[in-house]
Amino acid sequence: MNYKTPRKMLLGFLLLASLTAEAQEFDSELHMSTENDVYWYRICSAMPGMEHLAMTDFNGMTPLQVFYTNAFLMQTEESEEHSQWKLTAGEDGKVVITNRATGYQIGNKSNYSDNYNITQLVGTDSPGFNMTALGESAFRIESVEDDGVNRCLAVAEEGGEPIAYPTENENASVIGWKFLPVEIQTGIGSTKCKDVVIRIANKRISVNGTKWQLFNAQGEEMPRTTRLATGVYMVKMPQKTIKVMVP
């Protein structure tokens, strides 16, 4: 399995100034997975110079099969399923984040270590997170823990300095996260077509399992092999049309 670890960083929970979680303000292009449509994302740091580092469940990535309870921020290939996550609706409007390779979820109960609270991976009982759009396609991921304190997910360097909550430009700080779509699996509502896969890689869209056409946001048809600019595109299939975001 190919992966690089020039910087392996922990995901930490950072104390917010406010103890009340803000209302949901989802970007319209951030999709919740459903029974028919599953959206897989790489969740990468929004900090300048660290956009290539993705949230990764390290379990099973080494021959030792060591069980890690922490989620790491690592440089991996786009196709690495340990760095791919789906978002599903939890209770009270929260969002549950589940890893593709292991099925583990990012928990909202953190363990204190050194200068920060370390994020823990759990089985299938995570209550989920509140998510707020920060602008520039970045999001804040936060949750109230058992102690009643609202904390947000942040970049924490192992053995580093305490994390400082940003006073400006949250969208490009330790608490900013970008969800980069890599694949969509759709059942398109038919038992005869359950294997349609839409992939987004290297600024191109590819579709396996059905006939399809590609349109831009203005409704203009485009060559399917085109290297695309960042933006929203429509994949039109005989059974349905799906909106796809190219990061």
Query: What's the pLDDT score for residue 201?
Result: 93
Q: Which parts of the chain register pLDDT below 70? A: 1-28, 62-68, 114-115, 188-194
The two structure tokens encoding residue 54: 């993705």
Euclidean distance between CA atoms 235 and 213, whole angstroms: 6
Query: Which part of the chain has CATH 2.80.10.50?
Result: 3-180
For the entire predicted model, the pTM comes to: 0.87
Taking the CB of residue 144, how many other CB atoms lie within 10 A of it?
17
Contact status, residue 110 vs residue 119, Cβ threshold 8 Å = yes
Query: What's the pLDDT score for residue 72?
Result: 86
Cα dist. 172→106, 131, 140, 176 in Å?
A: 22, 16, 11, 6
Query: What's the pLDDT score for residue 183?
Result: 97
The type of residue at 59 is: N
Contact status, residue 53 vs residue 5, Cβ threshold 8 Å = no
Query: What's the pLDDT score for residue 22?
Result: 42
Per-residue burial over 82-114, b = 16 or more CB atoms within 10 Å of its CB, e = otherwise: bbbbbbbebeeebbbbbbbbbebbbbbebeeee
Euclidean distance between CA atoms 214 and 225, whole angstroms: 9
CATH 3.40.50.620 fits 3-180, yes or no: no
The sheet that has 213-216: what strands, in order across it? 221-222, 213-216, 231-236, 241-246
